[in-house]
């Protein structure tokens, strides 16, 4: 398909909507457009950098998000094969501030046990049973 645009900013906006697997910026100053591109699997800058260069010799991942999934996905990297663990800790004051909100959100989502777990801990803390 050919899409005719008024300017490069409009082209970038359309590109972000399409979230292409490959995006070639074959313009005079491609670097100036990078801040306008939010969604692309891989971006190829300038007229000397065709997609095939990236696919075969330039080094980035050749496993790219397709069918517009670059809106929320990225190219395959080593990070896809590593494990991360999230650690969460609140102070007593933080718990006291968060607990009512958490209970309300859990109730709204239909997670009664989540809401009750927070309320039970609140009651225990108020009674001095836990620290």
CATH of the domain at 53: 3.40.50.1980
Residue 12, both tokens? 């970038």
User: Is the pTM value of this prediction over 0.95?
Assistant: no
Per-10-residue mean pLDDT for the chain, 131 residues long?
A: 94 97 95 97 94 86 88 89 92 96 97 97 83 48
Catalytic residue among 6, 9, 21, 28: 21
Whether 2 is in a domain gets the answer no
Tokens 């777990």 locate to 117
104 tagged catalytic: no
The tally of domains found in the chain comes to 2
51 tagged catalytic: no
Catalytic residue among 6, 9, 22, 86: 22
Identify the pLDDT of residue 4: 96
Whether 131 is in a domain gets the answer no
* 57 three-class SS: coil
**Same domain assignment for residues 56 and 12:** yes
Whether 86 is in a domain gets the answer no
Entry field: residues in the chain: 131
Range of the domain at 120: 92-126
């Amino acid at each position: 398909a050919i899409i005719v645009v008024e300017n490069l900013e409009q082209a970038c906006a359309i590109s972000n909507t399409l979230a292409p697997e490959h995006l070639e910026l074959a313009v005079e100053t491609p670097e100036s457009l990078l801040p306008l591109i939010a969604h692309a699997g891989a971006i190829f800058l300038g007229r000397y950098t065709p997609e095939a260069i990236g696919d075969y010799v330039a080094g980035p991942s050749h496993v790219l998000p397709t069918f517009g999934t670059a809106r929320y996905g990225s190219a395959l990297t080593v990070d896809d094969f590593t494990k991360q663990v999230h650690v969460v800790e609140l102070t007593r004051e933080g718990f006291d501030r968060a607990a009512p909100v958490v209970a309300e959100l859990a109730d709204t989502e239909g997670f009664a046990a989540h809401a009750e777990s927070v309320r039970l801990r609140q009651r225990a803390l108020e009674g001095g049973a836990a620290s």
